[in-house]
Structure 1
Amino acid sequence: MTGHRDQWFGGSTYAQHGDDLAVLNIFKRLGIEKPSYLDVGAYHPFDLSNTALLYERGSRGINVEPNEAQHALFLKARPEDKNICVGVAPLVGRLPFYHVAADPGRFTFDVATAATLGVVKSVEMPVITLNDIVAGHPEGIWPDLLSVDIEGLDIDVLKGADFSSNPPRVVIVEADNGSGDTSHELAEIMAVKGFMLHSWCGSNMLFVRVADQALIWGD
């Protein structure tokens, strides 16, 4: 049974672990009805998406997906978003994009991760940093939600993210993509940047600003 009148966010989820419902609950506590987002390693406009439910509810944002075939799906299904076909890395330049034997959601710029999955081919692609993407966002302000799932480069990319001004309110990042648990290092990095762990959704960690804890949990 779905669609009960008292269900805040409906009875459906697109995310792998229900992350979208958890995120909507956090933003309701923060008083943000339509949070903007930056979905890095977006993969698919609906399948296993942390932002598809937000889009359906009127939010808009940026999807970054370097796989051209997957990027084309965003252009068709989510035309009101800004959809970018580029890689995200700790540097600006070009890197091999490894197509692996696993599904397209596991394609990666990280050679160590690719080696564990079996490389089918590699294609050189342009890469930019998170800061570059945000600089092109209106007024250079971070969107409300940052979702990062880039198969092995998550830590290095987040280390380089400049959260000194108007950081996101919520950050989702994959802590274990099958190559090992990075949760302790992620928690340390995010703590330095002014974030605390709110909860886990499957293998994903949800971080919120320390400054927002009173709004989320109450005084």
Structure 2
Amino acid sequence: MTGHRDQWFGGRTYAQHGDDLAVLNIFKRLGIERPSYLDVGAYHPFDLSNTALLYERGSRGINVEPNEAQHALFLRARPDDINLCVGVAPVSGRLTFHHVAADPGRFTFDVATATTLGITRSLELPVMTLNEIVAHHAGGVWPDLLSIDIEGMDADVLRTADFGADPPKAVIVEADCGSGDNSHDLAATMHAKGFALHSWCGSNMIFVRAADQALVWGV
């Protein structure tokens, strides 16, 4: 059943595991009606998107997708967002981006992950750090939500990010992209940055700022 009158956020979810509904609940608890976002490894403007529902509800943000064909979809479907066709890595520069035999959502800069999936094509692309994206495209202010799904490089990219004094209020990160479970590494990295695990949604971990735990959980 969808569209029931008492559904706070409606009967639709675009995310793979309902992550978008969990995030909307977090921001409702925080009193933020239209959270901004940085969606890294955004893949598609609606399909399996953690931010599409937020966009439909009036939020705006930044989508980062290095696959040109997928990036073009964002330009058409999410014109009010900032849509970047670059990769994200621990250090800026250029890296080899691997197309694989699986669907485009599995394309990756991580050669180990790509090898297990079967590399079909590789090309060199520019990459930026998370901090460079925030500095150049968000005025140096971290968006409310950081969603990151970059097929094997998630922990390395988060580890090198400097969140400063005002980090994102929530972070969604893929803990298992099919090449192995890195949830312990992610939990340790986020704990060191002042975040606590809020919940799991399928293969994704959702973190909130430790300072907001009581408000988010109502304890």
Letter in 2 for 1:30: L
Matched, 1:88 2:93: no
Shift of 1:4: 2.0
1:67 to partner: Cα distance: 0.2
State the TM-score, normalized to the length of structure 1. Answer: 0.98
Per-residue CA deviations over 1:134-190 (Å, capped at 9, x if unaligned) read 102343110000000000110110001101221000000000001111001100000
Backbone CA RMSD of aligned residues: 0.8
* 1:122 to 1:14, Cα distance in 2 relative to 1, 3 A: same
Aligned match of 2:25? 25
Unpaired segments ≥5 residues, structure 2: none
- Tell me the residue number matched to 1:194: 194
Report the number of matched residues: 219
Structure 1 unaligned residues grouped into runs of 5+ = none
Q: Could you tell me which residue of structure 2 aligns to residue 36 of structure 1?
A: 36
State the partner residue of 1:217: 217
- 2:68 corresponding residue in structure 1: 68
Q: 2-side partners of 1:217 and 1:62: how far apart?
A: 27
What is aligned with 1:143? 143
Q: Aligned residue for 1:16? A: 16
Counterpart mapping for 1:150-165 below 5 A:
150-165=150-165
Residue 13 of structure 2: SS of its match in structure 1?
coil
Residues 73-124 of structure 1: CA distance to partner in whole angstroms, max 9, x if unpaired? 0000000000000000011111110000110000000011011000001011
Q: Distance in 1 between matches of 2:6 and 2:180?
A: 40
1:204 match: 204
Matched, 1:49 2:58: no
Task: State the Cα distance separating 1:5 from its structure 2 match.
Answer: 2.0
Percent same amino acid among aligned pairs?
Answer: 80
CA distance in 1, matches of 2:165, 2:141: 8
Q: Secondary structure at the match of 1:198?
A: strand
- The runs of at least 4 aligned residues of structure 1 exceeding 4 Å deviation read none
